[in-house]
Structure 1
Amino acid sequence: MKLLFAQFAAMKRFSILFIALLFGRRMQAQEIKTSSTENTPASKSLFNPEHKRNFSRKGNFFFHWGYNHSWYDKSDIRFTGPNYDFTLKDVVAHDRQSKLDWSYLNPSLISVPQYNIRVGYFIKDNYSVSIGWDHMKYVMDIPQTVAITGHIGPNITVDNVPTGALAGNYNGEKINVKESMLTYEHTDGFNYANIEIARYDDIWVAPSGNTSLTLETGVGFGMMVPRSDVRLFQLGRNNNWNVAGYGFSVEAGLKFYPWKHVYFQNTTKLGATNLKTVHTTGHDDSDKASQKINYIENFFAIGVQF
């Protein structure tokens, strides 16, 4: 009988030990699974990189500053005011990026070149919303030969500026536009104040999980706020900033994170704009220009994420 009780006690101790070990293994497996889930990013990359980030970007803010170049499609510019209403067809224009040098590290000069500035927030690991200011420059090539339609009176605008031999009615004739007739620039900014929604897909992630190369794609929309420098038959000025119209854009670019919180970016944008009220002669109530500008913009930037 004593032997039977001893065997029963031994079996009882063995059963308790077995259950404890089994329960401990299950708890350990659950902890590993939970930890793995928490460290796995919320997004799934289209590229399925071999390594994955061990953190999520959701809830992060970011900020970057950079410089751009832009290329413009030909566009029609319509000028209207007292005793004139004419359109120049297929006008050619270029940007005017300043040559970069160390002087632009001076805070008072940092906005002189064509620049981009943006602040944003990650609403998910792979989606962000942001606001930005793209400071481009648009300069009409002078002189150039273009087609013209419409009417130019012998004296135009409220100042009765003489137009000389260019007065007349036009229906597609070619004219050579010189400085005596027109200079037209958005050089204190062909400014695009915009909101963007962007998606991110990791192309490559280092084994550490902190260094990565990411594809960014996005769409944007906003207001065009140029400061236009115009002379129409020698009458005009460097005008004030004004909300002249609106624009849309799509973009694709690469962001390289050498560290978790620092990135370098190169992005190309395709944009379409509609400027309805460009200031020209300084008589904003009576004189204006309008045009639709399509462009390609490429910019390099350095940013921080936190």
Structure 2
Amino acid sequence: MKKISILFLALLFGKRMQAQDVKTSSTDVAPTSKSLFNPEHRRKDSRKGDFYFHWGYNNSWYGKSDIRFQGPNYDFTLQDVVAHDRQSKLSWQYLNPGLITVPQYNIRLGYFIKDNYSISIGWDHMKYVMDIPQSVVISGHIGTNISTTNTPTGALAGDYNGQMINVKESMLTYEHTDGFNYANVEVERYDDIWVAPSGNTSLTLETGLGAGLMVPRSDVRLFGQGRNNHFSISGYGVSAKIGLKFYVWKNIYLQNTTKVGATNLTNVHTTGWDEYDKASQKINYLENMWVIGVQF
């Protein structure tokens, strides 16, 4: 009987010690993401269930693209058009709340569905400006009078099949400066590169894929006929990104991200006669952005 009592006490004591060890380990070790880099230290908190929000600014670069113009009495294509962005010069307007949307900006809101995966919605406000003047190859037809306004085209009227022309402002102004807007949904993955011993400061690699709608406000003048058009859904785009996210503290971060994208604009407003005149083009771009954000 004495042996049975001793055995019972040993088992009871052992279970209490095991339960205490499990409780201690659960409070000391927080769930963390799997990382490709296996950092020496671990974060103290899981990001699952958190939201994040950031705001920042970008610069962009564009590949050459063909632009097709269509309307009453004309249908022509300008090939390998060169364009650039138009980022505002660094000034106090970057900090002026009333002018904060003037520069090329990025805004994004996301939610962590897992510790190392999130889904987000965002608005990339870029700017696209066709270089004027420039020499390009042209094909198609330009009538002597085009559009519903019978706008004269002068010496540029005719049929083209691969000739070079010098596009001047009197013929064309073509910009998405209010802007070249990409409204998108993205899925992101995060891999910790380095985590401070405290677990609160870290450097994380972010990768992601996105898709969405192109909503430009295009400023176009075709043979002097046109305007700064209203915002419109003109096509769609897809993108991929990679960046570094530095958590200054577990809830505040700075981030630099590079994004590559491909867009297809099928209905760009041009002269202001939206039901008659339009342009279309496919634009590939490279975008680099700096943002500051908060996780909550």
**Do both proteins adopt the same fold according to a TM-score greater than 0.5, normalized to the shorter chain?**
yes
1:138, distance to aligned residue in structure 2 (A): 0.2
**74, 84, 88: which one aligns with 1:84:** 74
Aligned match for 1:40, one of 11, 20, 31 = 31
Give the CA deviation at 1:106. 1.8
1:222 equivalent to 2:212? Answer yes
Q: Deviations over 1:61-102 (max 9, x none)?
A: 000000000000000000000100000000000000001222
- 2:288 maps to amino acid: N
The one-letter amino acid of 2:182's match is Y
- Bigger mean CA deviation after superposition, 96-105 or 211-220: 96-105
Whole-angstrom CA distance in 2 between matches of 1:239 and 1:156? 19
* Paired position in structure 1 for 2:85: 95
Secondary structure at the residue paired with 1:158?
coil
Taking the aligned partners of 2:190 and 2:28, their CA distance within structure 1 comes to: 22
1:108 CA displacement: 1.3
Structure 1 residue corresponding to 2:160, chosen from 161, 170, 174: 170
- Per-residue CA deviations over 1:250-295 (Å, capped at 9, x if unaligned) read 0000100010100001000000000011000010010000000000
1:23 alignment counterpart? 15
1:273 aligns with 2:260: no
Shift, 1:34, TM fit:
3.4
Distance in 1 between the 2:155 and 2:168 partners? 13
Higher Rg of the two aligned structures: 1
Displacement of 1:16 in angstroms is 6.6
- Report the secondary structure of 1:108's partner residue: helix
Residues 286/28 of structure 1: CA separation in 2 closer, same or farther (3 Å cut): same
Q: Judging changes above 3 Å, is the alpha-carbon distance between structure 1 residues 127 and 12 closer, same or farther for their aligned structure 2 residues?
A: closer
Q: Which of 172, 177, 181 lines up with 1:182 in the alignment? A: 172
Unaligned runs of 5+ in 1: 1-7
**2:156 matches 1:154:** no
Note closer, same or farther for the CA distance 1:282–1:25 as it changes in structure 2 (3 Å cut). same
Q: Which residue of 2 aligns with 1:247?
A: 237
Deviation at 1:15, TM superposition (A): 5.9
Asked if 1:53 is matched to 2:43, the reply is: yes
Q: Deviations over 1:126-179 (max 9, x none)?
A: 110110000000000000000000000011111111111100000000000000
- Secondary structure in 2 aligned to 1:208? coil
Shift of 1:36: 4.9
Count of paired positions = 296
Q: Which residue of 2 aligns with 1:5?
A: none
* C-alpha distance in 1 between matches for 2:11 and 2:266: 79
1:26, distance to aligned residue in structure 2 (A): 2.0
Identity level (%): 71
SS at match of 2:206: strand
Matching residue of 1:114: 104
- Partner SS for 2:99: coil
AA aligned opposite 1:25: M
Give the alignment's TM-score, normalised by structure 2: 0.96
Pairwise CA distance, 1:27: 2.2
CA RMSD of aligned residues (A): 1.6
Specify which of 269, 272, 281 is matched with residue 291 of structure 1. 281
Q: What amino acid is the match of 1:246?
A: Y
* Cα distance between partner residues in 2 of 1:219 and 1:23: 49
- TM-score norm. by structure 1 comes to 0.93
Cα deviation code 1:29-62 (max 9, x no counterpart) = 222343356x122x21011000111211000000
Amino acid of the structure 2 residue aligned with 1:23: K
Supply the distance in 2 between the matched residues of 1:288 and 1:255 (Cα, whole angstroms).
Answer: 41
2:260 is equivalent to residue 260 of structure 1: no
Is 1:303 matched up with 2:293?
yes
- 1:298 positional shift: 0.4
Q: 1:12 Cα deviation (Å)?
A: 8.2
SS of residue in 2 equivalent to 1:302: strand
Distance in 2 (CA, whole Å) between partners of 1:12 and 1:135 is 77
In structure 2, the gaps of 5 or more residues are none
